[in-house]
Structure 1
Amino acid sequence: MSNSASAARAEGSTVQSVDRAVTVLEILARDGEAGVTGLAAELGVHKSTAFRLVAALEARNLVEQNVDRGKYRLGLGILRLAGATAARLDVVQESRPVCRKLAAETGETINITVPSDGAALYVDQVAGSSAVQTHNWVGQRIPMHATSNGKVLLAFGPPELLVGLELPAFTEHTITRRDRLDDELAAIRAEGHGVAVDELEIGLTAIAAPIRNPDGVAVASLSASGPSFRLTAARLAEIAPLVRDAADEVARRLGWHAHVA
């Protein structure tokens, strides 16, 4: 058998396993709980296959076993995933009118990001009037240390975001030393916003502010970005309070008042 044929079979087997695992979750969501025998019958597989599926899901806390009954039910990991999705949808929904207003005021592109797997995940974007052929960042994960959004999330987010953080260089202006990053994060906390000039891409500048929960922890960030020739130091100083106010307004719309003066 050729290597390509073997790879195709392996890929097909993987897809089938994923489909079966999702079906297990759907069955448990429908019935509340089920045993391996019942799952195997509904899936049309051997009990050993069903057991391997629930074992893999259990390892991820997506299912858990009722010790008394020996059956499986949805685990707390499902709530975590659902909560994360709901939180992102809420941020996007509540930030959209604020981002549109800020884009109109500044003429720049406005982005919303949330932390995701050690990166800043772009979940929404509104182009300003000055934007020409705007790059669509939505759905992309961007290194935290090289972007204004990411640095704001590091400065105001939970401490674990900094654990094991790698600092690869993207341009000659990228921060690659931890002591320099720590100094910059301290300055961001003092000023209430972060800036990145030519750090991810030459010619790209952005300024961001945190969207904080009632405990003051950033759960998202809001940024204005544009070409470096337009977003000069003087221009950044002009729009900094607008960006901070917009981020605080999103927090208010989400019902997070505690950190807002």
Structure 2
Amino acid sequence: MTDAALPLSLDTSDTTLAVSDATETAPRGPRGIQSVEVGGQLLIALAHVGRPMALKDLAREAGMVPAKAHPYLVSYGKLGLVVQDAGSGHYGLGPLALQLGLISLQQFDPVRLASAELPALAQQVGHTVAIAVWGNRGPTIVRLEEGPTAVHVNMRHGTVVSLDGTASGLLFAAHRPAVEVDTMLRAENGQTPDAAFLAVLDQVRAQGWAARVDGSMPGVSALATPVFDGFGAMVLALVAIGPSAALPVDASSPLLAPLRDAAQTISRRIGWRG
């Protein structure tokens, strides 16, 4: 028998051991149910598109064929996660999905979420940052986080700030109902909004942020961005406050991007889809 005809005998013990060891030591994530994850893509697709869809369109959006999607939709329909319109046959999110969404929104307090962002945001922008909400007397500071750049302002938790003299006030004036804004302005300075003030509010809405230089406090300027809830209502403002000489407040300000990013992150966590 030649060498070529000799049977080969491989010692696989070391290899088997190595594979076994790798299997034992490889990190494993929590075990899930694949069918739930697959079917969940249909719910994600409905939430992403935001309107009822035909079966073929919904299946395509979820990355599967209609025949595969249909049994999932039948089960979700029994649970109330989806509903099928009797006329068009289109599928949309059902009453249970709405209930879950509302409960989720109740669990996410925007002020609590924003407060968690403040320390890092203050360091990032290099200035004092604050959270302002709409109170029964107007824009009200509910949280203040000092930054590396000192600013001396007579402001603390519960301070009510000017509607037309502060960045946060302009944001709320731009997004609150006009009747409410008129009432607050009359109470604040005895005046109603004039054409110039309304033009400023139009600009604030268009650009998505507000600024005030030497407004209600000489030598102090502020830049503010809005946080919106799942219904598109403004719920709070993130405000950077600093000395006018050190805090740029135009469209090229390096503070604008981190303020916007933080506001959008919080907004999305409470249901905003803008």
What TM-score range do you get, normalising by the shorter chain? 0.5 to 0.7
Matching residue of 1:157: 176
Matching residue of 1:239: 255
Matching residue of 2:211: 195
Q: CA deviation at 1:176?
A: 8.2
Identity %: 25
Within a 5 Å distance, the mapping from 1:175-190 to structure 2 comes to 178-190=194-206
Q: CA deviation at 1:133?
A: 5.1
SS of the residue corresponding to residue 257 of structure 2 reads helix
- The separation in 2 between residues aligned to 1:234 and 1:187, in whole angstroms, is 13
Alignment root-mean-square deviation, CA: 2.6
- The separation in 2 between residues aligned to 1:233 and 1:143, in whole angstroms, is 18
For normalisation by structure 2, the TM-score amounts to 0.55
Matching residue of 2:271: 256
Q: CA deviation at 1:232?
A: 3.1
- The separation in 2 between residues aligned to 1:141 and 1:97, in whole angstroms, is 22
Matching of residue 148 in structure 1 with residue 167 in structure 2: yes
Q: CA deviation at 1:252?
A: 2.5
Within a 5 Å distance, the mapping from 1:1-261 to structure 2 comes to 90-132=109-151, 135-166=154-185, 178-233=194-249, 237-253=253-269, 255-259=270-274
- The separation in 2 between residues aligned to 1:214 and 1:115, in whole angstroms, is 17
- The separation in 1 between residues aligned to 2:181 and 2:192, in whole angstroms, is 14
- The separation in 2 between residues aligned to 1:252 and 1:146, in whole angstroms, is 29
- The separation in 1 between residues aligned to 2:195 and 2:172, in whole angstroms, is 17
Q: CA deviation at 1:163?
A: 2.9
Matching residue of 2:59: none
Q: CA deviation at 1:105?
A: 0.5
Code of the residue aligned with 1:252 in structure 2: it is: R
- The separation in 1 between residues aligned to 2:218 and 2:193, in whole angstroms, is 19
**8 A Cα contact 2:182 2:192, kept in partner:** no
Code of the residue aligned with 1:258 in structure 2: it is: R
Q: Give structure 1 stretches of 5+ with no counterpart.
A: 1-86, 170-174
Code of the residue aligned with 1:104 in structure 2: it is: Q
The 1:235–1:137 alpha-carbon spacing in structure 2 relative to 1, beyond 3 Å, is: farther
Deviations 1:59-113 (A, max 9, x none): xxxxxxxxxxxxxxxxxxxxxxxxxxxx8x9233111221112101111111111
**8 A Cα contact 1:111 1:125, kept in partner:** yes
Q: CA deviation at 1:235?
A: 8.8
Code of the residue aligned with 1:129 in structure 2: it is: P
- The separation in 1 between residues aligned to 2:210 and 2:110, in whole angstroms, is 20
Q: CA deviation at 1:211?
A: 0.9
The 1:234–1:138 alpha-carbon spacing in structure 2 relative to 1, beyond 3 Å, is: same
Larger Rg: 2
**8 A Cα contact 1:156 1:216, kept in partner:** no
Q: CA deviation at 1:233?
A: 4.4
**8 A Cα contact 1:111 1:124, kept in partner:** yes
Deviations 1:210-253 (A, max 9, x none): 11112222111111010101013469622112212111122233
**8 A Cα contact 2:130 2:238, kept in partner:** yes
For normalisation by structure 1, the TM-score amounts to 0.57
Q: Give structure 2 stretches of 5+ with no counterpart.
A: 1-105
Q: CA deviation at 1:131?
A: 2.1
- The separation in 2 between residues aligned to 1:251 and 1:235, in whole angstroms, is 21
- The separation in 2 between residues aligned to 1:233 and 1:142, in whole angstroms, is 19
